[in-house]
Amino acid sequence: MESSANYKVLVVDDEPDILEILEYNLQKEDFKVRTADNGKDAIKIAQEFVPDLILLDIMMPEQDGVETCRLLREIPEFSNTLILFLTARTEEYSEVAAFDAGADDYITKPIKPRALISRLNALFRRKSLTTVKGDRIIAGDLHIDRSSFIVTFKGKEFQLPKKEFELLSFFAQNPNRVFNREELLQNIWGTDVYVLARTVDVHIRKLREKIGEGYIVTVKGVGYKFELA
């Protein structure tokens, strides 16, 4: 695993005290840190700094965190950047909105710096466990060969139906990202064919029967994500 010194973190919050505390604690762990106090500046700094992870508050002036996250995800270089929300909002709809915008994780305030850093290291560790080499994706015990449609799981080789294979490949290439059913339908089935949202659940159930329950995780009220321990 890479050391913290190799990771860049952008912290975005309109509370100066929180920015100061997080910057101090992250730098102490050798992360490279930049800060912003609003969403618009965050996007400008992100394009210059190109962070590996963005800590993003929801309630901010000028442009809130959810809109900022959505706009960042529209920029190709940030499509796979880790985005973690920090917020005092505890309502379920705020969490759903954050994940719908493309968040990887969601933590409520007050923030405990040591716990936060442990969470960041876990996210980086999980992301580093997935590698893409040409037509091959390696994610833990899963080896996916996109040229032959062959999946190897714990040494056992098998073939999947086309849509199951495409769904698994999509998840494995986007670890820790939460996708709702509509996003999965659009990415796997496209917009030209009418498919019920329930189809996603059926395909995920079939995949879990073959690779176990641990990889594709249900995020209540939002959708699914691919997660490595």
Convert the pLDDT of each residue in 78-103 to its tens digit: 887 889 998 876 677 777 888 888 88
**CA–CA dist 196, 182 (Å, integer):** 9
Measure the CA–CA gap between 76 and 153, rounded to whole angstroms. 31
Q: Rounded CA gap, 200 and 207, in Å?
A: 11
The beta strands (E) that lie in 3-161 are given as: 8-12, 32-36, 53-57, 82-87, 105-108, 130-133, 136-139, 142-145, 150-153, 156-159
C-beta of residue 206 within 8 angstroms of C-beta of residue 224: no
Q: Report pLDDT for 3.
A: 52
Interatomic CA distance for residues 80 and 78, integer angstroms: 5
Q: Which helix (H) or strand (E) holds 178?
A: strand 178-179
Domains detected in the chain: 4-128 (3.40.50.2300), 130-226 (1.10.10.10)
| Direct distance between the N- and C-terminal alpha carbons of the chain, in angstroms, rounded to an integer | 14
pLDDT by 10s per residue, the chain, length 229: 445 657 999 999 999 999 999 999 999 999 999 999 999 999 999 999 999 999 999 888 889 999 999 999 999 888 878 899 988 766 777 778 888 888 888 888 888 888 899 888 888 877 766 677 778 888 878 899 988 888 998 888 988 899 999 999 999 888 888 888 988 998 899 877 677 888 999 999 999 999 988 899 998 888 999 987 5
